[in-house]
Chains A and B, each alone.
Chain A
């Protein structure tokens, strides 16, 4: 029965791109959205559309080759719709909303990165924002030293990755809670280093970036989106790959995994470094968005909290969990307490408690259970 429904859906969705491309030659015809004044705008819009469709088709091919069942296909098409919306959005919405979306992308990217090391490999980190902070400072510095913004982002990510290698080897020797605490400590160490290394970071005063160096909001928007998309695709790929299988085996029983030939150290460190590169890049882009960085904002504790709660709430170890979690949390934040960050964080704390006590698998586990009709997971599972 489920198959028929999704096949129906697929037929409907498949017709969409065809409809859009046929009307693409007729500017202004049957295209929903706001007013488009002038032919130039229409031509750009059409170009964007064609680009979108190519990307969508490519993405679909990538997924379909590995796709197994119906939920995946539906997920894919939902993803395609979202991607379209995101790419088209800057044309129709104002700066405030665009900034909001940018922040959503940021949270998604960070969440997926955390998901990689914590959800999939089982090494729950309480201080991953440390890499964000490193990337932010590195990006800011490279920018002030004259590098083009995109190179500064790459270098920021690179520095974060470079640090992650030795730190990974050291911290990943620790078991569960101690790893978490060590990462928490590392975040604070990052903050302290940023405060004390005044020559480079200007300490507590922070670094201000001159607007001349910064790219436009649109550029930052798309870059952050690319990071969010990239992170998600990375998690999706890992999920299906041999590497991901080995990571999950490590999460389940590290010793037994080692005993059946999984090189646990190498796998863990690779996952750790991958999970550091993304926050590094995100941090660099973020600093270009705020044009100011200081130790408190770079190594902000709230970021750690968001990474953790968003993923656990959505469903850790899954591909869509972090996206659903990020979307929900950000929308709630916007609706309820955009003006009261403290209330938002308190709500996150409550959410964390609820998830830990009652819903360890996150929102996704509700969907899964309904689908597979198997007995609920034991409440004793740790995330």
Chain B
């Protein structure tokens, strides 16, 4: 697989990321480069290692080997809070809003320590998604969709340069989903780069300029959506090999 060399255009570069869990290779030498200012997609069948990749990049999983550089700085081995402070944020597949903290507190804690205006910014963000009146509500009393939205807002508090979105719209009703993707587009227009794990191909086709396909721990294809969807290896990964004789 020929990969472009990591250049000044790339905000995130990963080389040869390998992660093994007691005999099972979750990631096998993954190479991935995200161009600054894009919305890059990461797709692949279930169990292919997408979330593991996010765990490794965001610092939650420190057991991988290889190289990761973010904004020209190597971040492999950094703790997650340092990586976040550096400008790389990440959301979770299942909502991890702090249940006993209010929505406002959920947001403020993610902001910079010395930021006096954190509360204002938080309220502003809530205003954008019409959740202003929920500022004093405890996290656990929100609906699931609202939680995911708040979680999304949370990572915006530190003004990250790159955001890893792990299935942000899963389990969310269509209206909230639209709000979410509109925000993503808007922020992207302002310069934020996104790396998105999604299963919804329409969204990928619509939003992403570049797509990586991960299967069984390896990157098997990369390019724009049109070229991906006709790629034989990709089809094989999703639908299995066709056999000449007998069922698969």
A touching B, CB within 8 angstroms: yes
Q: Let me know if B101 and A259 touch, CB within 8 A.
A: no
User: Per a CB cutoff under 8 Å, which of A246, A252, A263 touches B99?
Assistant: A252
Q: List which A242-274 residues lie within 8 A (CB) of chain B.
A: 242, 245-246, 248-249, 251-253, 255-265
How far apart are A243's CB and chain B's nearest CB, in angstroms? Answer: 9
Given contacts A246-B109, A249-B109, contact A258 B81 (CB under 8 A): yes
Interface residues on B, range: 20 to 34
* CA of A287 to CA of B37, assembled, Å: 65
Binding site for B on A (CB under 8 A): 242, 245-246, 248-249, 251-253, 255-265, 374, 378, 381
Chain A residues whose CB sits within 8 angstroms of the CB of B112 once the complex forms: 261
Interface of A is mostly: helix
Q: How far is the CA of A30 from the CA of B88 in the complex (A)?
A: 67
Determine whether the beta carbon of B109 is less than 8 Å from that of A258: no
**Residue from B81, B105, B110, B154 in contact with A264 in the complex, judged by beta carbons closer than 8 Å:** B81
- Residue positions of B touching A, CB distance < 8 A: 58, 60, 79-82, 84-85, 89-90, 92, 96, 98-101, 105, 108-110, 112-113, 140-141, 154-155, 157-158
The complex places the Cα of A65 from the Cα of B90 at a distance, in Å, of 36
A259 — which chain B residues lie within 8 A by C-beta? 58, 60, 80-81, 84, 89-90, 92, 96
Could you list some 27 contacts between A and B, CB below 8 A?
A: A242-B113, A246-B109, A248-B100, A249-B101, A253-B96, A253-B99, A255-B60, A255-B96, A257-B98, A258-B79, A258-B80, A259-B81, A259-B89, A259-B90, A259-B92, A260-B81, A260-B84, A260-B109, A260-B110, A260-B154, A260-B158, A261-B84, A261-B85, A261-B110, A262-B81, A263-B81, A265-B79
- Closest CB-CB distance, A122 to chain B, in whole Å? 10
B79 and A245 contact, CB distance less than 8 A: no
Task: Report A-chain residues with C-beta under 8 Å of the C-beta of B82.
Answer: 263
Shortest distance from the beta carbon of B137 to any chain A beta carbon, whole Å: 9
Please, which residues of chain A bring their CB within 8 A of the CB of B80?
258-259
CB proximity of B139 to chain A, nearest CB, Å? 8
